[in-house]
Each structure stands twice: as C-alpha cells, then as structure tokens.
Amino acid sequence: MKLAIAVVYLAVDREDEKLLEIHLNQIEKNTPEPYTIYAAANRLPDGLRRVLARRPNVKVLDLPMTELRRSDENAYYLELLLQKAIEDGATHVCTLHMDSFPVRPGWAGELTGKLKGDCVLAGMERDPYRDKKPLTAFMLFTREFYLGYRPTLSLSAQARETPQYRRYAKVYPHILDSGAGYGFTIFREGLTWYPLVRTDRGPQGWGFGIFGGLIFHLGGAQWFPVEQSHVKRQPSRWTPWLGRLWRVAGLVIRGRLRSRIGELAPSNLQQDLNSRRMAERKSALAASPEAFLRDLGVG
C-alpha cells in the first residue's frame, strides 16, 4: 500500500498549533504503513506552516490561491491535493481535516479491507438522518476508483438538476458541501460505500465524536476561528442558561428528535453555544489528548 493522506489546513493563529501537533502525532502513532501527507496550507500562519514542514512525511504543496471559502475552499484545494497524490502513484487516498485523525493502530489496513467488489469507499457519515454521504473529514478510496470514475467533491448546478440526482437526494438526504459529489457518483454508478457512523457515547455534537471506532473528529474546529475571527459580537445573555438546558436534554434525547430541537434554537444562540462548546473541547483535547480520547472510549 502506498497511502496518501490529503488535508487542507485552515487556521488563523498559533493557538491551533497544539491541535495541529495532536493531529500529526495521532496519524504517526496509528499508521504503521508508509504514508505521505499532502498538505494545502495557503492560509496557514507561518508558524504553523513550519510545524508541517518539520515533519519528513508531510509534503506542503504550493497551490494557487482561491477566494472561495468554507466548503467550497476545502473542495478547491482538496481536488488539487488528490490529483497530485494520484500522479505520485498513491494506491490509496485518505482525506482528513485538521481536527480529525485516526485513534487506533491498524485503521488503514482494516478499512482498505472493506474496499472489495462494489464497495469503493469508506467514509465518515456525519448524521444518519440529515447527512447520509461521505464527509471529507474522513474518506478512504482506491486509485482505481478515482481514475475509473473521476468523482468530484462538489456537485455542479447542472448535476443537481438531473433526475438521477433528485432520486439520490430523496433516498439519501444530505448537505451539499464537500463530499456530496462522491456520494452521488457512487449512487449513480450502482456502487456502494462503507459508512463510519458515530460509535462513542460522548456528548452530542454536529460531526463530533469517534466514528467507526477508528476516526476522531472534533467537528468543525477549523471553521470557527477562520470564519468568525472578524466578527466582534457579545455572547447572548441567554447562552449559559441554554447551554445548561441543552446538556440536560442531551442526556435523555437521542437521534432525529434532538437534531430537530437543535434546529429550532435561534441562530445567534445556537452559534454562541457552538462556539463555546468548540472552545471547551479544543481546550480539553489540548490539555490531555489521552484523557480526552479515553473519555470517548479510546484506549
């Protein structure tokens, strides 16, 4: 196996250096197979770029800049990374985010073993009700799938207007962000994929947790500082109260109902809660990665 790991690194300050180090250390610790990380670091601070450059198995690519943001930015850079990895002869390609990483040795061998017959991809499924598609926080697929079907991470407006896509969206509700194109390609070609669903019993969170018992995702850590650094807004006075209520509700409400309740919260309160929760989790992970992951059932 010649494994390529493609990651778009986004951060705005050196406070994320600890998260980056944990991400790199966990990949190294849990991946005995030879691998190369193909890194896009166009908007990474110089200090964090140096953290990447110090690692002998990381290749930071000089990529053309884009004005796209959020999922579109991720897809733009990730497409270039995947192309380069395939050109370099990778037999298997994995995508991660800066806040996702493997947590158990042997993850690559176990999941490549799932890629047989019509099953062409293993990937994180963020939500079994609202987002039934592979998520770029973790996808693993073969060189043959990439070259044979030429999937794209995003879906064009033209593709979304086809009867095939409408059937896909009806059967597999999903969010139209980076990764949707792979899910649609698999559906259109009559193929299958192996979803990694959340397996831990930790606190609720959109995309947060251990998936398939193998991959951890903090859940959007790279978006919060990058997209909100220019917003100077005081937290709502209701945020602490709503946060306590939400944690209590999380003990007794599960699945679709809890997701729906979250949607009903006023957007500014929900954003305050999400930002606060993310800060708390990043701090706890940085303080003791082993303890944080052990509380989620790793170890």
Tens digit of pLDDT for each residue in 91-121?
Answer: 999 999 999 999 999 999 999 999 999 999 9
Same domain, 11 and 130: yes
Length of the chain: 299
Of 16-20, 146-150, 247-251, where does mean pLDDT reach its minimum?
Answer: 247-251
Domain count, the chain: 2
**Mean predicted lDDT score pLDDT of the chain:** 86
pLDDT, residue 299, reads 75
272 vs 190, higher pLDDT: 190
Long-range contacts from 230-238, C-beta under 8 angstroms, 24+ separation? 235/272, 235/276, 236/268, 236/269, 236/272, 238/269
Same domain, 41 and 165: yes
pLDDT band at 2 (very low <50, low <70, confident <90, very high): very high
Same domain, 181 and 280: no
Same domain, 47 and 148: yes
Which of 216, 251, 280 is a domain's end point? Answer: 216
Same domain, 29 and 113: yes
pLDDT band at 245 (very low <50, low <70, confident <90, very high): low
Same domain, 194 and 255: no
pLDDT band at 196 (very low <50, low <70, confident <90, very high): very high
Q: Whole-angstrom Cα distance, residue 124 to residue 100?
A: 10
Question: What is the span of the domain harbouring residue 277?
Answer: 221-295
36-45 pLDDT, tens digit per residue, is 999 999 999 9
Same domain, 212 and 235: no
Location of structure tokens 């192996």: 194
235 vs 45, higher pLDDT: 45
Same domain, 171 and 212: yes
DSSP assigned state of 236:
P
Same domain, 49 and 147: yes
User: In Å, how far are 17, 48, 255 from 59, measured between CA atoms?
Assistant: 18, 14, 40
Does residue 70 register a pLDDT over 50? yes
pLDDT band at 147 (very low <50, low <70, confident <90, very high): very high
Q: Whole-angstrom Cα distance, residue 264 to residue 276?
A: 18
Does residue 284 register a pLDDT over 80? yes
Q: Locate all alpha helices (DSSP H) within the chain, ordered by sequence.
A: 17-30, 46-53, 70-87, 107-112, 143-149, 157-160, 163-171, 180-188, 223-228, 239-252, 255-264, 267-287, 289-295
Same domain, 212 and 230: no
Same domain, 21 and 69: yes
Give the domain CATH number at 198. 3.90.550
Same domain, 163 and 24: yes
Neighbours of 283 (CB within 10 A): 12
DSSP run (H or E) holding 162:
none
Which of 216, 250, 270 is a domain's end point? Answer: 216
Location of structure tokens 């879906």: 155
Q: Once rounded to an integer, what is the mean pLDDT over residues 131-151?
A: 97
pLDDT band at 219 (very low <50, low <70, confident <90, very high): confident
Q: Residue 187: CB partners within 8 Å, gap ≥ 6?
A: 164, 168, 171, 172
Q: Whole-angstrom Cα distance, residue 142 to residue 139?
A: 10
Which of 152, 181, 216 is a domain's end point? Answer: 216
Q: Whole-angstrom Cα distance, residue 38 to residue 81?
A: 6
